[in-house]
Amino acid sequence: MGALTQSYFRGASDPHLISQTIGDYLDGICERYPDNEALVVRHQDIRWTYRQFKTEIDRLASGLLALGIVPGDRVGIWGPNSAEWIMVQYATASIGAIMVCLNPAYRLNELEYALNKVECRAIVSAESFKTSQYLSMLQKLAPELAHCEAGRLSAEKFPHLEMVIRMGDAHTPGMLNFAQVCDLGSEEHYRQLTAIKKTLQAEDPINIQFTSGTTGAPKGATLTHRNIINNGRLCATSMGFTDQDRLCIPVPLYHCFGMVMGNLACLTAGATAVYPNDGFDPELTLRAVAEERCTGLHGAPTMFIAELDHPSFSDFDLSSLRTGIMAGAPCPVEVMKRVLGDMNMQDILIAYGQTETSPVNHITLPDDTLENRTGTVGRAVPEVEIKITDNHNQVVAVGEKGEICVRGYSVMRGYWNDEQRTLETIDGDNWLHSGDLGVMDEHGYVQIVGRIKDMVIRGGENIYPREVEEFLYTHPKIAEVQVFGVPDVKMGEELCAWVQLHPGETMTEDELKSFCRDQITHFKIPRYVRFVQEYPMTVTGKMQKFLMREQMQAELQ
């Protein structure tokens, strides 16, 4: 392929796109690899072969049918990583119900909004996690649970919600127990399961993921069997996965990173999914990799930093590692170099995308140059087109900044029950407008330079915080940095940096600014510097700059 002049690139053709439903594909894999370990959940002491895994999924699927769940019904899943979570993922897919992923960090207002937005008929909930008392929150929003028959809720605040299925052994008034539901299926329900599978189509919606926007109410990105199983297979293929591989999944399942790039990637290869814990813990992750001899490890950059900086890092034998995917946020070059060397992950990949594209639309490959693997997010994945456009939706020349747009099999069906916001995101030619700013080189590799709304305009100068962050990461004392704009009467906006130092290091604001002088343009030197111990972030490890910005605004006023 010759050098590009315009910022448009189409991924390779893929004659092997999967046209089956997830349930059918699962059945085929379980037949091919019945004795392979499918799932290891270390904190629950669970080890299931694919044969055992299918038995457990079918038990839950037939139980849901016994409750009256039908294809198209929305079933919420709320809780941290667990065997129950992945069982719900595959059982709902098998009966054509639509699994609704609820953020484990949701509080009352967010939960009420999400369940009503997509009209959930049932919710499967953990008892608690960290500071979240899930069942108590449900009882607060639906006090009717105290007196209703289990599975027959009629709640003022939840006009569509009929069933609350709780995990764990305890009994709660008005709620069904997870294990109890798994025992409900009769021979008739198993026959019904087989019959329903034959009626489902690969293009049917199967999953709703709420996007964590920085403004406005969350939107429910609606994904199909075809969307997510093919994206899972893409991740497995890119990592070179076979049925002999074992993937450590410390990222949350409620997000595409865990359930698609983790669970479905393993399924499509007949590989083993390993959950080190219910939530991310760097030591338990390292221990799981070492003791389970994992060949792959996923994580956001913040997770890899926490693992690398753990005081016991050198105690763990990570020699089994080969690959994995780093995603969820741009990766600092210095971190990538340490992962390649110190963690033995020579074939680690950088992936980029968004929930609305199932999620991966760019990925680096093991044979890409180190420069492209650290400085870009790779190229368009197979069967996906990428273009970079200006404010008038015209494709820009190679090397120019613009908005990344995506078209192909992975683009969502739309936002659930939200035609207006769907039309704002997917245009008439089926291009999804990401809101992310990128630059494409002459070979199709894309560098992310920020979000459209992340761009800081200081005195008429456009500043892309990512550029400043990459420079600051080169300082040996700096472990993590986030740069963003704050309002300023004179300049319109000024730049602010929140800096986290490596353990035991100290630094002053003047020292940081001196480091910047003569190295980056004067207007890119942060006006405000704060040294912090931690950052506000989503459960998936994405930094929430809007919260940092709000805090700084309040402080500066």
- What is the pTM (predicted TM-score) of this model? 0.88
CA 19 to CA 52: how far, in whole Å?
25
The CA-based diameter of the chain, rounded to the nearest angstrom, is 75
The 3-state secondary structure of 211-225 reads ECCCCCCCEEEEEEH
Rounded to 10 degrees, the C-alpha dihedral 549/550/554/557 comes to: 60
Q: In DSSP terms, which residues pair with 274 in a beta bridge?
A: 40, 248
Each residue's pLDDT, cut to its tens digit, for the chain (557 residues) gives 689 999 999 999 998 899 999 999 999 999 999 999 999 999 999 999 999 999 999 999 999 999 999 999 999 999 999 999 999 999 999 999 999 999 888 888 889 989 999 999 999 999 999 888 999 999 999 999 999 999 999 999 999 999 999 999 999 999 999 999 999 999 999 999 999 999 999 999 999 999 854 345 789 999 999 999 999 999 999 999 999 999 999 999 999 999 999 999 999 999 999 999 999 999 999 999 999 999 999 998 889 999 999 999 999 999 999 999 998 776 777 888 899 999 999 999 999 999 999 999 999 999 998 889 888 999 999 999 999 999 899 999 999 999 999 999 999 999 999 999 999 999 999 999 999 999 999 999 999 987 777 788 887 777 878 888 988 999 999 999 999 999 988 888 999 999 999 999 999 999 999 999 878 878 889 999 999 999 998 766 778 888 999 999 999 98
Yes or no: say if 39 and 48 are a contact pair by the CB < 8 Å rule: yes
Q: Around Cβ 160, how many Cβ atoms within 10 Å?
A: 15
Using CB atoms within 10 Å of the CB of residue 264, give its burial: 0 to 12 exposed, 13 to 18 middle, 19+ buried. buried
Contact 419, 27 (CB under 8 A): no
Residue in 469, 468, 384 with CA at minimum distance from that of residue 434? 384
| Cα 524 to Cα 462: distance, rounded to the nearest angstrom | 9
Q: What is the dihedral of CA 536, 539, 543, 546, to 10 degrees?
A: -60
Burial of 188 (0-12, 13-18, 19+ CB in 10 A): exposed
d(CA 22, CA 535): 37
List domains and CATH numbers for the chain: 22-27+51-211 (3.40.50.12780), 455-556 (3.30.300.30)
Question: What span, in angstroms and rounded, lies between the C-alpha atoms of 231 and 384?
Answer: 11
Sheet strand arrangement including 74-78: 176-177, 163-166, 122-125, 74-78, 98-102, 205-211, 219-224, 414-415
Contact 263, 83 (CB under 8 A): no
Task: Please state, in angstroms and rounded to a whole number, the distance separating the CA atoms of residues 489 and 500.
Answer: 28
* Amino acid found at 138: L
